Structure 1
Amino acid sequence: MVALLEPLEAPVDPVDALRRIAFLLERTRAGTYRVEAFRNAVKTVRALDPGELAERADAGTLQDLDGIGKSTAGVIAEAVAGDLPGYLGSLQDKAGGPLVDGGEELYAALRGDCHLHSDWSDGGSPIDEMVLTGVELGHEWMVLTDHSPQLRVANGLSVERLRRQLKIVDGVNRSLAGRFTLLKGIEVDILDDGSLDQTDEMLGRLDLVTASVHSKLRMNAGPMTTRMVAAVSNPRVNVLGHCTGRLVTGSRGTRPPSEFDARAVFEACAEHDTAVEINSRPERCDPPDDLVELALDLGCLFSIDSDAHAPGQLDMKAYGCERAERLGVPAERVVTTWEVDRVRAWAAGDG
Structure 2
Amino acid sequence: MARANDEAAELVQELADLLSITGGEAFKVRAYEKAARAIAGHPEDIAALDLEGLRRIPNVGAAIAKKIADYNATGTIRQVEELRAEIPAGVRALTSIPTLGPKKAMAVYEELGVSSVPELARAIEDGRLRGLRGFGAKTEENILRGIELMRRAGDRVLVDTAMGLASDIVAALSRVDGCRRCVYAGSLRRMRETIGDLDVLAASDDPGPIMAAFTALPQVAEVIARGDKKTSVRTVKGLQVDLRVVPPEAWGAALQYFTGSRQHNVRIRERAVRAGLKLSEYGLFSASEEDGGLIVSATEEEVYARLGLPWIPPTLREDSGEIEAALDGTLPRLVTEEDLRGDLHSHTDLTDGTASLEDMVAAAEARGLEYFAITDHAPDLFMQRMTDEKALAQREAIRALQARHPGMTLLHGTELNIGPDGGVDWDADFLAGFDVCVASVHSHFTQTTAEATRRLLRACENPHVHVIGHPTARLIGRRAPLDADWDEVFRACARTGTALEIDCFPDRLDLPADLIRRARRFGVKFAIDSDAHAVGHFRNVRYGVGTAQRGWLTPEDVINAWPLDRLRAFLGGETPA
Would you call these one fold, judging by a TM-score over 0.5?
Answer: yes
Among 434, 459, 474, the residue aligned to 1:231: 459
| Per-residue CA distance 1:274-327 (angstroms, 9 max, x = gap) | 111111111112122221111111110000011111111112111011111122
Q: Which residue of 2 aligns with 1:168?
A: 397
**Contact 1:191 / 1:227 at 8 angstroms: preserved in 2?**
yes
Among 340, 347, 360, the residue aligned to 1:110: 340
Moved over 6 A (4+): 25-30, 42-45, 67-71, 97-100
| Local SS of the residue matching 2:392 | helix
| Per-residue CA distance 1:66-121 (angstroms, 9 max, x = gap) | x89979xxxxxxxxxxxxxxxxxxxxx859x9997467961111111111111011
Among 336, 360, 375, the residue aligned to 1:145: 375
Distance in 2 of aligned mates of 1:270 and 1:27: 41
CA distance 1:137–1:262, change in 2 (3 Å): same
Distance in 1 of aligned mates of 2:487 and 2:414: 26
1:37-52 matches, cutoff 5 A: 41=53
The yes-or-no answer on 1:183 pairing with 2:411 is yes
1:268 alignment partner AA: A
1:110-259 matches, cutoff 5 A: 110-153=340-383, 155-177=384-406, 179-249=407-477, 254-259=478-483
Distance in 2 of aligned mates of 1:42 and 1:180: 31
Deviates more, 1:104-113 or 1:117-126: 104-113
**Contact 1:303 / 1:335 at 8 angstroms: preserved in 2?**
yes
**Contact 1:27 / 1:315 at 8 angstroms: preserved in 2?**
no
Q: Which residue of 2 aligns with 1:300?
A: 524
Question: Shift of the alpha carbon at 1:34?
Answer: 4.3
TM-score by length of 2: 0.45
**Contact 2:513 / 2:550 at 8 angstroms: preserved in 1?**
no
2:413 alignment partner AA: G
**Contact 2:474 / 2:482 at 8 angstroms: preserved in 1?**
yes
Q: Count matched residues.
A: 288
| Local SS of the residue matching 1:175 | coil
- In terms of fraction of residues, the more strand-rich structure is 2
Q: Which residue of 2 aligns with 1:282?
A: 506
Distance in 2 of aligned mates of 1:148 and 1:288: 25
Distance in 2 of aligned mates of 1:290 and 1:347: 26
Deviates more, 1:102-111 or 1:36-45: 36-45
Distance in 2 of aligned mates of 1:28 and 1:105: 29
**Contact 1:26 / 1:311 at 8 angstroms: preserved in 2?**
no
Structure with greater contact order relative to length (CA < 8 Å, sep ≥ 6) = 1
Structural RMSD (CA): 3.5
2:361 alignment partner AA: V
Q: Which residue of 2 aligns with 1:328?
A: 552
Q: Which residue of 1 aligns with 2:13?
A: none
1:341 alignment partner AA: D
Distance in 2 of aligned mates of 1:29 and 1:275: 35
**Contact 2:504 / 2:530 at 8 angstroms: preserved in 1?**
yes
The yes-or-no answer on 1:313 pairing with 2:313 is no
**Contact 1:25 / 1:312 at 8 angstroms: preserved in 2?**
no
| Local SS of the residue matching 2:415 | strand
Distance in 1 of aligned mates of 2:522 and 2:535: 34
Distance in 1 of aligned mates of 2:413 and 2:368: 20
Distance in 2 of aligned mates of 1:29 and 1:237: 38
**Contact 1:26 / 1:310 at 8 angstroms: preserved in 2?**
no
CA distance 1:263–1:26, change in 2 (3 Å): farther
Distance in 2 of aligned mates of 1:27 and 1:285: 22
Unaligned runs of 5+ in 1: 1-22, 46-66, 72-92
Distance in 1 of aligned mates of 2:436 and 2:385: 17
CA distance 1:105–1:228, change in 2 (3 Å): closer
TM-score by length of 1: 0.72
Unaligned runs of 5+ in 2: 10-35, 58-64, 71-166, 172-182, 192-314, 316-333
Distance in 2 of aligned mates of 1:162 and 1:136: 25
Distance in 2 of aligned mates of 1:41 and 1:115: 29
Q: Which residue of 2 aligns with 1:343?
A: 567
Aligned-residue sequence identity (percent) comes to 32
